[in-house]
Amino acid sequence: MLPYETLIQIDKTLRLPVYQQIANRFVALIQEGILKPGLVLPGSRVLAEQLQLHRRTVVAAYEELISQDWIVSMPRKGVMVATNLPVIRPRSFQAQASPYQQGPGFSFAAVPSLPMYPGPEPKAGTIIVNDGFPDVREAPLEAWIKECRSVVQSPRYGRMLTHGGPEGSLTLRSEMVKYLGGTRGLSISTGNVMITRGAQMAIYLAAAMLIKKGDYVIVGKPDYFFADMCFEQLGARLLHVPVDQDGIDIDAVETLCRTRKIRMLYVISHHHHPTTVTLSAERRMKLLKIIRQYRLAVIEDDYDYDFHYNSSPIVPLASADHGGNVIYIGSFTKSLGLSVRIGFMVAPPAFIHGAGALRRLMDLRGDNLTEEALARLLADGTIERHLKKSNKLYHERRDLLSDLLTTELSHAASFAVPSGGMAIWLKFAKKYPLPALSEKAARLGLRITSGEQYAYGSKPLNALRFGFASLNKKELTQAVAILKQLTGK
């Protein structure tokens, strides 16, 4: 219900009767388009209580409006604004332009917007090739709902709902210490862990703690475009170093450290985004030496460490002797396959405390319900079982897509089979420009990116990440068949 007590102001010092003031104000509200034709108005008793008037005064105002045809009485339903309004009125009853449809009347710092998919929203039945996300159909939804219900029914829920710091649930952080120790070999305590709303928030917080305007930051080329955009927004000057089949070029990193005052390095050690390559063991050892020598702050983004197929993954930089210089960031969003935004940051306690103080400026605390439920799923082994099942399924889908691309699309595109992750980096021949291919595919029921976002800050790569994890056998086969049809073989 509209706040009539603020929309209708009564001045009892006026000679104009109160009921007439009410009627006149209703007419103005209708003329201004605030009260739309067909809107049911509050009953006389309700409105009288809101305006703190006698009911007879409101009844008299309504009768006056009915006599002028501004409102109509509906038997047993009350009154509503007339749909056939009086001809004599100062304003049209067409939709009025809202102030928020104008302007703004002030300047602001614009953030670059990158196109992800061209054209309108996809129709039902469209096959969507995403950037590399899990299959939500395989998510442990029942277990998740069960744990959320259990948390809500807990006698402690009221306290959990209203308490907690910006570093996140202590229960979840305690489980994370055990989980990261067992899977990544990290020797940490709860003071080293911060829970965030997805890995992107962790990247932003860590970068905001480090970067001052004009600082040099080393990134790969190509690189995860949202991270690069984040660093630039914070005022960094990006220094790009090549990425090849063994990951980021560490010799180039060392050269920059010798010749420039480098504030930070951003590195994706497993399944680099977008190329999917993994930083080799040799380069890791050399990078660790550089990190210690130059006391180089490093954000290690390990967004999908949990998905590895050919062999056991190489432990992250964060698990080695880095002198306290590596900020380790990961995510459970992709691990779970649910629309749950949970990421984490691992760093020295002083840095975590500072990041918590910064986070409090935009987000007082995390989602206590989500974090407590996830802690329980970690503790009872649900997450471990789900990841084991998912790895088997996604391994099969990676192999199927690799076979399909080799047999059906080798004339148009090339790729290397990734050791893990949820996407294949697919590079198209120049004769098949991705923007045009993307538009044609959309008309045939296949939605693929134009690939422009992967070339942020550089020339187009004519390549895309073909996410295989979220597509079943039939969908993968159909997607490749459409691309084969469009490339003329």
Domain membership of residue 185 (yes or no) is yes
| 240 and 172 assigned to the same domain | yes
The 10s digit of each residue's pLDDT in 196-225 is 999 999 999 999 999 999 999 999 999 999
- pLDDT at residue 477 greater than cutoff 90: yes
Structural domain of 169: 141-380
User: Model confidence at 97, in pLDDT bands (50, 70, 90)?
Assistant: low
Q: How far apart are CA 398 and CA 418, in angstroms?
A: 8
pLDDT at 59 over 50: yes
Could you tell me if 157 and 56 lie in one domain? Answer: no
CATH code for position 245: 3.40.640.10
| pLDDT band for position 155 (cuts 50, 70, 90) | confident
Q: Give the SS3 label for residue 143.
A: helix
- How many domains does the chain divide into? 3
Q: Which amino acid is at 367?
A: D
Rounded to the nearest integer, the mean pLDDT of the chain is: 89
* pLDDT for position 91: 46
Query: Does the pLDDT value for residue 92 go beyond 50?
Result: no
> What pLDDT score was predicted for residue 5?
87
> Residue 28 belongs to a domain with what CATH number?
1.10.10.10
- Looking at the structure, do residues 356 and 419 belong to the same domain, yes or no? no
CB 338 within 8 A of CB 141: yes
Distance between CA atoms of 334 and 303, rounded to whole angstroms?
Answer: 8
117 part of a folded domain = no
Last residue of some domain: 380, 413, 438? 380
433 and 355 within one domain:
no
Q: Do 304 and 400 fall within a single domain?
A: no
Last-in-domain residue among 357, 380, 403: 380
Yes or no: say if 265 and 296 are a contact pair by the CB < 8 Å rule: yes
180 or 117, which is more confident: 180
Element (H, E) at 188: none
Mean pLDDT on 149-153: 89
**Is 80 exceeded by the pLDDT of residue 135?**
yes
Reply yes or no on whether the pLDDT at 338 is more than 80: no
Give the pLDDT confidence of 297-327 residue by residue, as tens digits: 999 999 888 899 987 778 899 999 999 999 9
Higher pLDDT, 477 or 305: 477
- Write the single-letter amino acid at 178: K
Residue 87 lies in a domain: no
Q: Which of 140-144, 298-302, 398-402 has the lowest mean pLDDT?
A: 140-144
Distance CA(345)–CA(210), nearest Å, equals 14
Does 346 share its domain with 467?
Answer: no
Q: Is the pTM for the entire model greater than 0.75? A: yes
Measured CA to CA, the distance from residue 5 to residue 14 in angstroms comes to 18
Tens digit of pLDDT for each residue in 425-472? 999 999 999 999 999 999 999 999 998 888 887 788 999 999 999 999
pLDDT tens digit sequence for 373-390:
999 999 999 999 999 999
Q: Is the pLDDT of residue 247 over 80?
A: yes
